[in-house]
Amino acid sequence: MAGNQFLMFEEEQRRIQEACDLLARAANAEAVLVIDKNGQEIARSGDTDDLDVTSLSSLFAGNVAATGGIAKLLAEKEFSGQFHEGEKTNVHISLVAQRAILVVLFDQRSSLGLVRLRVKKASEELTRIFEAIVRKMNQGSAQTQVFSEITDDDIDNLFSE
């Protein structure tokens, strides 16, 4: 992995978006989120206008981290998925490629069985995409050079006001 950074490239972002859109449709979901394990949003699909995706991303990541911590203490490798049942909205959370969190929000128009089935398929595709990202990161794409051109002035300007 290229240093202490995780990079997202245009092609893979597009493929992740497509996979999200497809999952949202196929699972009859309200919304689908793909989140970096550290709590940053990667992609969203479905009816997300009323969602505070930034806050949700941080909390889902915290939730997954806490669950992972519990698994470790119970000598389990991991708990691969979580399901929260609400009055209107249900939430299915799973880990993809040890790197990302796939969240599906759904209501009574769908079912846990259908969501699980579609998530499995989408996870396979997302895993392939994340593997492609890691390969690109290891190749040291030329795009990373953008940051070596950042000057101290650029950084100072951010804090100028």
Partner 1 sequence: MSFINYSSREINCKIVYYGPGLCGKTTNLQYVYNKTAPDAKGKMISLATETERTLFFDFLPLSLGEIRGFKTRFHLYTVPGQVFYDASRKLILKGVDGVVFVADSQIERMEANIESLDNLRTNLEEQGYNLDKLPYVVQYNKRDLPSAVPVAELKAVVNPTNVPDFEAVAPTGGGVFDTLKAVAKLVLTELKRGGNG
Question: Which residues contact partner 1 (rule: CB under 8 A)?
Answer: 3-10, 12-14, 36-40, 42, 52, 54-55, 58-59, 62, 65-66, 68-69, 73, 143-150, 152, 154-159
Nearer to partner 1, 27 or 39 (CB): 39
Nearer to partner 1, 6 or 130 (CB): 6
Instruction: Give strand ranges (E) for 13-141.
Output: 31-36, 41-46, 81-84, 90-96, 100-106
Pick from 29, 52, 54, 51: which is nearest to 42 by CA? 54
Nearer to partner 1, 7 or 22 (CB): 7
CB of 85 to partner 1, least distance (A): 21
Pick from 19, 52, 49, 51: which is nearest to 34 by CA? 19
Does residue 35 contact residue 62 with C-beta atoms inside 8 Å? Answer: no
CB of 105 to partner 1, least distance (A): 18
Nearer to partner 1, 66 or 112 (CB): 66
Residue whose pair of structure tokens reads 């998925």 in the numeric block: 81
